[in-house]
Amino acid sequence: MTERADDSVADSSNQAERRAQWFVMRLYSGDMTASDESELYRWLAEDPGHRRAYEHLVQLRDVSGDLAGDKDIAALTRNALGARTRTTFDRRWVVGLAAAVFLVAITGFLAKVLVTSDGAQIFETALGDRQTFALRDGSSVTLNSGSRILVDFDSLGRRILLDFGEIFLEVAKDPERTLTIRAGDHVVAALGTKFSVHLAGDRLEIAVAAGRVAVTDDNIRYPRQTEFLARFEAGSLILNAGSVATFEQHRQTVKEDSIEEVERLQSWRSGRVRFEDQRLMEVISEVNRYSPVKVLIEDSTIADLRISAVLNLDQVEMAGQVELLLSSLEDIHPIKVVRHPDRFVLIADRS
């Protein structure tokens, strides 16, 4: 811009200007990364002049928005849009999608890891699949069959969003950054711990194997940093190791000192789901979380039968495992399994 390279003051101020332009340009790009962000903060802190330059540009760009109704500006915009054609629309859609999210890894056949353009990660498992992932902070997360989470860690906090399904977490200690999980209407804060969170529709179940967690449905102010944690805990339900909490339609139940139930609920981690004296309808709804073939109960008289059984998860042929379990039910209980290609139907065996 300036030809006077010997003028070092003007030069450094120009440099700051250009840097500010770059940051503002990046800010509105939609794909600012976490490192861009920390670089911005570092640069702003370096010199008050940097902050002035940056904020001046942001402010000008903001103010320009008030020209949205201006007829001259509208004419300019129409003119600029003139070049647009139908074909570019389709191309834009495809390219935009490809640019924003790209596939980083396919682990096994079924689990997917997506990295969004802003550095957050999305982990997803298909039906019948189970995967453990190491997270950047040293924590590990295991996704049960048919689950999806978004992991967003930065210098301010560790946030996991459980979109659906079930996860088991072993949380690495980090006093600076609380790890929180949002699931449905609740926020769970890990206070250094091992626990599982299972979200199925409106029903949320939390089982704590070690340490403590805090749960709240006041999900506006979830703790991102330690300073917020005390405030968060004050308005929360604290669950100690061995607790199982269930939240469903405004009702909450908490069972304490139930380490056996915690272990049973988390048995999927070792490749087995154990059922102990549970109602058939509960068992079947659990089986359906893993089964590629839907299992239906078409006879209410058998729905409340008490069942103990084991479903093996580590077999390649999940449908075969489900069938094995159903056959064992047929042997012991007055149940008949009607096998269709796309579903298994349970009816009462009246013979």
Partner 1 sequence: MLRTDRTLTTRNTSNVVNFRRKDGASDALRRIALEHEPALRRFVGARLSAHADRADQEDVVQETFLRVARQEGVEEKLSRSLDSVRSYLFSIATNVIRDNYRKAVTRQKHDDLTRHVPTALGVENSAEEIVSTQEQLGFVKAAIMKLRPDCRDAFVLNRFEGLSYREVADTMNVSVSMVEKHIMRALSDIRRRVDQGLVDR
**Angle in degrees, 0-180, between the axes of helices 280-287 and 318-332, rounded to the nearest 10:** 170
Asked if 55 interacts with partner 1 (CB under 8 A), we say yes
Asked if 236 and 215 count as a contact pair (C-beta separation under 8 A), the reply is: yes
Annotate each residue in 202-241 with x if it binds partner 1 (CB under 8 A) or - if it does not, as one string: -------------xxxxxxx--xx--x------xxx----
Alpha-helix residue ranges (DSSP H) falling in 65-111: 71-81, 86-100
Total interface residues for partner 1 by CB under 8 A:
90
119: burial class by Cβ within 10 Å (0-12, 13-18, 19+)? middle
Q: What residues between 174 and 193 interact with partner 1 by CB under 8 A?
A: 182-185
Asked if 22 interacts with partner 1 (CB under 8 A), we say yes
Q: Which of 7, 10, 49, 52 binds partner 1 (CB under 8 A)?
A: 52
Question: In 10 A of CB 145, how many CB atoms?
Answer: 22
183-208 as b/e: b if 16+ CB within 10 A: bbebbbbbbebbbbbbbbeeebbbbb
Asked if 59 interacts with partner 1 (CB under 8 A), we say yes
Query: What gap in Å lies between CA 273 and CA 316, rounded to an integer?
Result: 16
340 φ, ψ (degrees, to nearest 5): -105, 160
Q: What residues between 102 and 121 interact with partner 1 by CB under 8 A?
A: 116-120
Q: What residues between 278 and 337 interact with partner 1 by CB under 8 A?
A: none
Asked if 141 interacts with partner 1 (CB under 8 A), we say no
Q: What residues between 243 and 262 interact with partner 1 by CB under 8 A?
A: 250-252
Which C-beta is closer to partner 1: that of 92 or that of 339? 92
Asked if 81 interacts with partner 1 (CB under 8 A), we say yes
Q: How would you write 4-65 as a 3-class SS string?
A: CCCCHHHHHHHHHHHHHHHHHHHHCCCCCCHHHHHHHHHHHHHCHHHHHHHHHHHHHHHHHH
Q: Which of 31, 46, 260, 349 binds partner 1 (CB under 8 A)?
A: 31
Q: Segment contacting partner 1 (CB under 8 A): 103-111, 154-162, 203-211, 298-306?
A: 154-162
Asked if 63 interacts with partner 1 (CB under 8 A), we say yes
Q: Segment contacting partner 1 (CB under 8 A): 66-74, 262-270, 300-308, 321-329?
A: 66-74
Asked if 64 interacts with partner 1 (CB under 8 A), we say yes
